């Protein structure tokens, strides 16, 4: 299985989730993990599974303004110029049969807080022609800058294991 994990992260929480996912996927095949800035400058992936994730800003995927606002809360912002929203909006449609999954990070409290970068990314992936390998998943952080809520890295690894087995099974039955 060949996979690419593309993430947007401001405070390192989404990056940590992306790395945990890539670690597990790498046990089952070849995986490449890229910050969205780097992904914007490389060729479109020819992979079995594309996994995309970003932080929830203002109830959805970040925008330039929300990234600039978030950058005021850290001395070393990770992503400013391009986010998952812009990267996916610039992407070309894919051939039928391409698979993807979406994840996001969002503040744990209050639990009723609406919005999800994961759902926004999933919607854009479907528009591009991707079939989703699983429902979009949100991982929780303890406030705007984090850290991740206890157990979220383990939950990310478990989700990646599910994705890997689903995709390996699909590939085996396709052959």
The domain spans of the chain are: 2-173
SS (H, E, C) the chain: CEEEEEECCCCCHHHHHHHHHHHHHHCCCEEEEEEHHHHCCCCCCCCCEEEEEEECECCECCCHHHHHHHHCCCCCCCCCCCCHHHHHHHCCCCCCCCEEEEEEEEECCCCCCCCCHHHHHHHHHHHCCCEECCCCEEEEECCCCCCECCCHHHHHHHHHHHHHHHHHHHHHHHC
Residue 32 has pLDDT above 90, yes or no: yes
**With 60 as the cut, is the pLDDT of residue 89 above it?**
yes
Percentage of the chain lying above the pLDDT 70 cut: 97
Please state the rounded mean pLDDT for residues 138-147. 95
pLDDT-derived band at 78, boundaries 50, 70, 90: low
Looking at residues 121-140, what average pLDDT do you find? 98
- pTM higher than 0.85, yes or no? yes
| pLDDT tens-place string over residues 50-71 | 999 999 998 889 988 888 888 7
Q: Does domain 2-173 have CATH number 3.40.50.360?
A: yes
């Amino acid at each position: 299985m060949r996979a690419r994990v593309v993430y947007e992260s401001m405070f390192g929480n989404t990056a940590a989730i992306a790395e945990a996912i890539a670690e597990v996927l790498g046990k089952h095949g070849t995986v490449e993990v890229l910050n969205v800035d780097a992904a914007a400058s490389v060729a479109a992936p020819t992979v079995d599974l594309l996994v995309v994730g970003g932080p929830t800003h203002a109830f959805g995927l970040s925008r330039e303004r929300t990234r600039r606002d978030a950058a005021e809360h850290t001395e070393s912002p990770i992503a400013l110029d391009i986010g998952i929203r812009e990267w996916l909006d610039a992407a070309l449609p894919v051939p039928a049969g391409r698979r993807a999954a979406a994840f996001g990070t969002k503040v744990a409290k209050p639990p009723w807080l609406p919005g999800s970068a994961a759902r926004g990314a999933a919607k854009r992936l479907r528009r591009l022609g991707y079939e989703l390998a699983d429902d979009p998943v949100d991982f929780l952080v303890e406030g705007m800058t984090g850290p991740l809520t206890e157990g979220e890295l383990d939950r990310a690894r478990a989700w990646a294991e599910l994705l890997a087995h689903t995709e390996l099974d699909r590939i085996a039955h396709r052959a």
